[in-house]
Structure 1
Amino acid sequence: MHLGRAGAVATSLALLTFSGCNVYRPGGSMRSNDTFTFISNEYYPVTVTIVDVRTNEPIWTADVPVAKQLTLRFHEAQFPDNPANPDSLQWRFFERPTRAGELNSVMACPDKYSRRMDVTIRKTPEYATGSDPRVEHAGQTASAVHVTPGTPVTAPAPQPTSPGPEGNAPATKPEPAATNP
């Protein structure tokens, strides 16, 4: 039986569609394959934790670095000799955005009824290493000055002022506040 050009194109499209190609994007691949992608940015730094709900203990945690993505996927019944953790968890950190690639790390994990995925947002803003925009430049050839919140800044020297209506009277020390015994 000869399908012709249209049949070959239709067969190729069907094979490509159902071949197991994964698209890594936030929200998943829009099909039920247990693939999850998390992307961190400065105002959305993500931490992903897998929890064993039988013990309520975390079994795996990943802080996704800013400007990176984490893709993970669960596979059922990969470890049949391990009834406590029969499934596998595969994961990999990628540069963002990465739509496809091999998940090269693997570990045994509980089945889908015994695990929970917790996603938390770390304190913001958080910047990628070496890209902190809170750096001030004093000039083109000057070295960078890193400004860190909470670091004391030296006060400018006081400017001379003209005497007020009191003239050059000595400064007086304020009275301490009264305390109730």
Structure 2
Amino acid sequence: MELNDQNNLIRNSFIKMLLKKGKKSIAENLYNNILIELRKKTKQKPLFILIKTIDILAPKLKLINVPVSKRRTRKKKNKYFLMFLNKEKQVKDAVNWLLSFSRKRKTNFLKNILNEILGTFNNKSKSIVKRDDTYIEIQKLRYNIKFNSTVNLLDKEEDFSTFSKKKKNKYLLFKK
């Protein structure tokens, strides 16, 4: 049941992001073509690959910047808050990153999105770098974050296991 709900959530968010000028049937056909081409390339279940890539890419945390109003002191520091994202927002951000990086490529859009999905599935895509950059930003600003109890969750070594292996050493530099 959970897999079916997650499939519908991913399908709906993909179609909403693919929409241009209200052409929903074209977006649905493109989504179906993506699944067919994934099946041809990998010879695995395309929904499994799509769900796995979005699980890899989905950000769990988001940093919110709250500017401080004018103070009497000259030091003005912004306050940052960590927000845990719900599943819908995680899927929406992951799909948005996939589509934005696939649109930046030069060739056919269907080939671009397939290469981006397969690259993310194998941890070799530019969208993985984008996800890692968001976590690096959280690590850099962790001393200015308001809620220290949520920041301590990032200090554990097991949270770094989801990052790409090439940049793992950079994350460890930000540890206390």
Relative to the length of structure 1, the TM-score reads 0.22
* Higher-strand-fraction structure: 1
* Higher-helix-fraction structure: 2
Q: Which has the higher contact order (CA 8 A, sep 6+)?
A: 2
In our comparison, the structure showing a higher alpha carbon Rg is: 1
